[in-house]
Copies of this chain bind each other. A is one copy, B any other.
Amino acid sequence: MLKQRKIKIGGVHTYLELYGRLFVDLIPRIALIAADKADIHGNLFTGPNTEETPTLVEATAFSNGIVIAQVNELVEELPRVDIPGSWIDLIVVTDEPYAIEALFTRDPQKITATQILMAMMVIKGVYARHGVVSLNHGVGYNTAAIELLLPTYGESLGLKGKICKHWVVNPHPTLIPAIESGWIESIYSFGGEAGMEKYVASRSDIFFTGHDSSLRSNRTLAQIAGQYAVDLFIGSTLQMDRNANSSAIIDTRWTGFGGAPNMGHNPGGRRHASSAWLDLSYYCEDIKKGRKLVVQVLETFWDGKPNFLEKLDAVKMANEVGLESMPVMIYGNDVTHVVTEQGIAYLYKATSIEERRQALAAVAVGTPIATNQTSQTREELRRKGMVAYPEDLQIDVSDAKRSLLAAQSIEDLVKWSGGLYQPPSKFVSKK
């Protein structure tokens, strides 16, 4: 039995696997959806937040279910049609607009020097080393730091045009400086982001937009792209075990995994090659296969507690509750690189489980998974290229300063956007 305790639960998202199940064992009877506008034929305009709505509607409308759409207003003519009226049964015009939150906005002011150091290591030791051209960034300060270092640190390394050209990512405001500096060729988005509407409309050369210039997002297609079409998935996590299994479900906080599990692995049966994918190729018996890069970023400690543990809280919880499937977010076997403030573990190079564990421990010194590791072992792992510390990457830790960020604040992002990015009021500092 679960001991009574206070648990914060949040961030439950929908994801690829669930979309598939809508047509197999979870066929919906009723779909309740939200849209910006409807016309009198029932056609819907969802604006930038189309997300998974067409998939939910498709599963319901074509299985004799009922689709009820809440809309902010009824208009004569729509800017464009996102979902045809013939798929919709009922329209309800509401008095107040549907709720929307800026979930993917990270204030540059809150990015720490440690996060900047890790971001430098990712850019040099992962993106540049393997030639990562297409990628997905999870949400968080770690990846926001990477985005803000491309036009500064990345530029100084001569990487523009060589890495990070094609993105599958929400319209993160922290991407604006990289876009404006000419780093990015295309961005396909899972959903919209409040405040980014006008900026996105002005960069329809980069973002996917309709004839009306507003973003067209599609979470289902973005997750397919994030699973199969990119060189790299990178994300943060909350806890990792000695085998690199990770979870965002920890003792006092249960966070949803979003699309991470379905995108953060090396998808089987991939048949197209890319340089980065081939750079991690390996032999599966006598047949050579490429590999997707799956990178996890995690500081070794948080609030004085180690984030690297022998056993995940999630596994303990699963055993307590009797879950049939462990709430692991990314399986260790799928992780190719782990980046901490200490260094990078190139896990994909390991030839045994023991070597893999040692490489991980070498970037988590001071945590329970590294207690028995000697400095000689770490030296040997460095020599073999299994582990790289900042000095091995010619990174001077004292360079990891906030001044290296292309934007220091939300206000800076607004400036980079030429005033087109309009941050929600909670991100605007009171003067």
Contact = CB atoms under 8 A, between A and B. Distances in A.
Nearest to A288: B326
Max chain B CB contacts within 10 Å: which of A19, A86, A245? Answer: A86
Interface string A287-318: 11110000000000000000000010001000
A375 to B, nearest CB: 26
Given A61-B210, A273-B325, A288-B326, A186 B268 contact: no
A142 interface: no
B287 A221 contact: no
Interface in A1-49: 16-21, 23-25, 27, 43
A230 B17 CA distance: 10
Interface of A: 16-21, 23-25, 27, 43, 55, 58-59, 61-64, 78, 80-87, 133-134, 166, 168, 186, 188, 204-205, 208-211, 216, 218, 220-222, 224-230, 243, 245, 257, 260-274, 278, 284-290, 311, 315, 324-328, 330-334, 353
Nearest to A217: B62
A61 B325 CA distance: 40
Number of copies: 2
Given A23-B186, A23-B208, 7 more contacts: A20-B228, A24-B166, A24-B186, A27-B186, A220-B220, A243-B285, A287-B332
B208 A55 contact: no
A17 B334 contact: no
A229 B24 CA distance: 7
A324 B83 CA distance: 40
B25 A166 contact: yes
Given A23-B225, A188-B24, A331 B289 contact: yes
25 contacts: A17-B272, A19-B221, A19-B224, A20-B225, A21-B228, A23-B221, A24-B168, A27-B186, A62-B209, A64-B204, A64-B209, A81-B84, A83-B84, A86-B211, A220-B220, A243-B287, A264-B268, A265-B267, A268-B334, A270-B325, A285-B332, A287-B315, A287-B328, A287-B331, A290-B325
A83 B218 CA distance: 15
A221 B20 contact: yes
B268 A265 contact: yes
